[in-house]
Amino acid sequence: MNELAGKHIVLGLSGGVACYKAADLCRQLLREGATVQVVMTEAAEQFITPVTMQALSGRPVYGSQWDAREPNNMPHINLSREADAVLIAPCSADFVARLAQGRADELLSLLCLARPTERVPLLLAPAMNREMWAHPATQRNLAQVVQDGAVVLGVGHGDQACGETGDGRMLEPAELLEELVAFFTPKVLAGRKVLVTAGPTFEAIDPVRGITNHSSGKMGFAIARAAREAGAQVTLVAGPVHLPTPRWVHRIAVQSALQMLEAVEPRAQLASVFIATAAVADWRPATASGQKIKKDGSGQTPVLGFVENPDILARVASSEHALVGDLFCVGFAAESHDLLAHATAKRQRKGVPLLVGNIGPATFGQDDNALLLVDAHGHRELPRASKRVLAQQLVAEIARRLPPLPVAT
């Protein structure tokens, strides 16, 4: 997708075993269209060589403030002025301390100090032992660098090179890439709370069988990520799917339509946008057997009675919170034919301002889709693209339709 096309990133490496992750991070940044200039501390060179990072980045690696390759002998000025962002990954406890103190005795910290702070953000991906991470001095230094304008991307939890387990691991390259993309995304949903449903529901027949559908949840998860990147506080109510939760999205796992309704209704009262992408089963068995229903050899099939599931979207859209204009509701319609006619009728029936239609058999489980946006003024197509791209386009459409946030007094 080249989500970082046109961006020039200074990738700084300080000393730590997590330098091995910087190699993959560099490749992923390039894959997304960024150019990468690597700057390494002397300590970082003990863990990975400049030759490796030069081969991966396609640019000479800098490590000394006295590097004579720069005509003016000022790499700390030139490199910082060219950057759209400076990302320190890994950022050791020692380097955090250097930044907090304003040290400038080697190129990377000097570059950070010399960067134009109003237009070149500094992002830090800490990496250290769990005790070092939790130490009051480290936390005090982190608070100071945040106060000075840096963005701390957080740490992971898990096994560490020293053999211990806990907080302090550097985030994985894919997570750092997601954070960087989010950082550059316009915050068109800042100050909004967005509630998203995704995936299928599973209506139990007995302990091992049930009624469900082919929804993969990919569209809903992509929308949740795009909304978070656009600055929203996002809650994702997801049916039974095996997808990773987007960073900083609060996920609530459910199985049945009734469980989804129970999770959605109270949270919808606190939201400003509700996006119902879940493929909720229309019916459920009237009673679920407590034991597996067995064949008895008679050839007779069991008789199942069904009851209609509640219409989650219609109930939320008819709530007072939505009717007074405090909740913008977006519905989804997965159809097999006559998409425009069915989507138009469904929008009117559900009473929502925006209905998003797609052909279910053509999108379930796929990584791409095509969407039809239907509102009171007509319809518009979003041509087939990745669900990631369509999610970004849909979030932009929703943001454009929202009323302005009230001005604080």
The distance of Cα 337 from the centroid of its chain, to the nearest Å, equals 32
Look at residue 1 and give its three-state secondary structure.
Answer: coil
Q: Select from 382, 361, 362, 360 the least CA-distant residue to 372.
A: 382
Write out the E strands in 241-392: 250-253, 273-276, 283-285, 306-308, 328-335, 354-359, 368-375, 378-386
User: Could you tell me the two tokens for 340?
Assistant: 């425009």
Strand 85-91 to strand 122-126: parallel, antiparallel, or no bridges (unpaired)? parallel
DSSP state of 170: P
| Catalytic residue annotation | 162
Residue 78 parent element (H or E) = helix 75-82
Q: Select from 123, 148, 127, 129 the least CA-distant residue to 11.
A: 123
d(CA 334, CA 332): 7
DSSP state of 72: T
Which position has the token pair 């955090």?
A: 96
CA angle (142, 145, 146) in 5-degree steps: 85
CA distances to 219, 222, 393, 395 from 389, rounded to whole Å, are 10, 9, 6, 10
CA distances to 136, 231, 328, 329 from 248, rounded to whole Å, are 25, 11, 22, 22
The distance of Cα 281 from the centroid of its chain, to the nearest Å, equals 27
d(CA 231, CA 228): 5
User: Could you tell me the two tokens for 175?
Assistant: 């997570």
